[in-house]
Structures are given as C-alpha cells and as structure tokens.
Amino acid sequence: MKTRASTFPKVVACMPAWNAAAFIEPVLESLAAQTYPNLHVLISVDAGDDGTAELCAKFAQRYPNFEMLAQPTRLGWVENSNVLIRRAAGDYLFFAFHDDPLFPTYVSRLVEAIERNPNAVNVFSDMLSAKGTEAYRELEGITDRFERARKLLSPSGPWWCPNRGLVRAEVAKEVGGLRRHLGGEFGADWPWLMGLALRGEFVRVPEPLLYKDRRPEGLNTKFIKSATIWKRLSVRLACLREIRRVRPPLLTSLKLHLRGLACFVREERWLVQRKLARRARLRGPP
C-alpha cells in the first residue's frame, strides 16, 4: 500500500556545506519545517573543522528524511555540489544553500508550478533580502532556447534566483552538474544555469519563498570580492562552452559568441567607469 508521501513526486534538497556552523542551523530548521510530504534532504559537509558536520549529524539523527555525507578531504564547492547531484535519487532536486532559509511552502509551491508546466526544467521563486524583494523576470515566457541563452549572456537583475530553483533531476544529470573553468570555481553557477536553459523553459513563481542572507563572512561575499577581469571572462567563456555542447546551427552559434564577448566588453567598460567615478567622488572637488 502506498504511503501518502509516495503519491507525491520525490524532491531532493541538495545542501553543499563547508565551515557553516555559525549560520547553517536556521536553514536546516527551514528544511525540516517544509510542508511538502516527500522531501529528502541530502547534505554533503565538505571537510572543515568548525563543527558543521556535528550540527548536521544531529539533524540527520532527529529527522528520518535527512541524510548527511561527510567528505574526508576538501572537494571544493563545485565537486561537493556534483556529489549531491549524482547521489540525488528523485524526480526533482534543488540547491539548499547553507545561508538562505526557506519559507515553509517553498517546495510545495515550486512542485505545483513545475507539475503544471511540462516544458519547464527550472521553476524558481522571488526572494527576500535586505534590499527587499528580488525578482528575476528576464526569461519569463521565452520558449526558444537560444533566446534564453542570449538573455543569460547579458543578465540583468538577480539572475542568481533560478540557481535556487527546482530542477528536473534527469536534466540536471544530463547537464552534468557544475564545472570548473579557466577561472576556477568563480561564478560556476552561471554556466550551470546556461546548460539548463538550453534544455528547457524557466518558470518564475511570483512570490518570495526564501530569504537571501548576504552576510560579510558568507561564501557569496567572498566570491564577489575575489572577482578579477580574468575570472569574469572565464565565466563568460564557460557559458559559451555550454552553448557549443548542444551543437547549435553555425550562424546561431556565431551570433551568440559575438554577443557574449560584446556584452563582456561593455560590462567591463562600465565597471571601469564606475571605479573612476568613485575615485573622483572620494577626491572631492578640485
């Protein structure tokens, strides 16, 4: 006889964690409080020595749908995330990042949306942060995959919202997870989203269902501070690599490559102008 949970698609929350003991507990609690009845929480603690593993192990002991993997040596963010994707056995998966608590109906609302949209590979929500509500609207209603790729090559607004979305597990495995690139792990979620967007539609649930916590000691802040022109170019080249992997028509590929490089040049020029303007303000009037 089927249980109530087994009548719902299985969702796996993939949580890559590293040295997060100071702020991971609210996220674990938010996962435990989800209203969705068929959720498996899979945590991979990437070595570390700050007590993250012990804290996650307590939740795994307390909740039968929690499972923790303890990596004996440091894998890095990309490979630790890929371990979770490969291990996830379900219909859908999503990344539950260790500093962004979820609202209780997060999984339920996203499952409802993706079940209504058979062409969708990624369903995501708006998010709350200290800035207010952040909503990514650029891919709404776009059914052509190369148009989605064109939009992602020059993202405007909070393009990172879909990286917290619910993804069809078979598509995630087809993409092959995240990849390191010439700039290392910096911005590896952007090419990952490009790979997904080339395989299906993105659907936005227009309500905030998680809180984005931008803390000074968070990994996201450290990644942003580590940005260099080489790393930003490497991410753009990795996005173009994802486009080549689906073997688009030659003319389409050429147009997308030219757009990607043109957008990079334009954005770098804007960064230089902004830096010069900031220096001029600090110097004050002559």
**Looking at the domain assignment, is residue 41 inside a domain?**
yes
Residues 6+ apart with CB under 8 A from 272: none
The secondary structure of 143-184 as a DSSP string is --HHHHHHHHHS--S-TTGGGGSEEEHHHHHHHTS---BTTB
- Domain extent for 146: 8-250
Residue labelled with tokens 């409080």: 33
Q: Give the angle subtended at the CA of 69 by the CAs of 67 and 75, to the nearest 5°.
A: 145
Distance from C-alpha of 78 to C-alpha of 82, rounded to nearest angstrom: 6
Q: What's the mean per-residue pLDDT of the chain?
A: 91
Is residue 270's pLDDT more than 80? yes
CATH number of residue 222's parent domain: 3.90.550.10
Would you call 35 helix, strand, or coil by DSSP? coil
Q: What is the pLDDT of residues 175-213, one digit of tens each?
A: 999 999 999 999 999 999 999 999 999 999 999 999 998
Distance from C-alpha of 136 to C-alpha of 164, rounded to nearest angstrom: 12
Count of CB atoms within 10 A of residue 214's CB?
13
**Looking at the domain assignment, is residue 231 inside a domain?**
yes
Distance of CA 20 to the CA centre of its chain: 18
**Looking at the domain assignment, is residue 275 inside a domain?**
no
**Looking at the domain assignment, is residue 55 inside a domain?**
yes
Structure-model confidence comparison of residues 221 and 78, the more confident one:
78
Distance from C-alpha of 191 to C-alpha of 180, rounded to nearest angstrom: 10
Distance from C-alpha of 170 to C-alpha of 279, rounded to nearest angstrom: 49
In this prediction, residue 2 carries a pLDDT of 46
In this prediction, residue 157 carries a pLDDT of 84
**Looking at the domain assignment, is residue 172 inside a domain?**
yes
For the chain, what is the domain count?
1
Distance of CA 155 to the CA centre of its chain: 14
pTM of the full predicted structure? 0.91
pLDDT-derived band at 6 (thresholds 50, 70, 90) equals confident
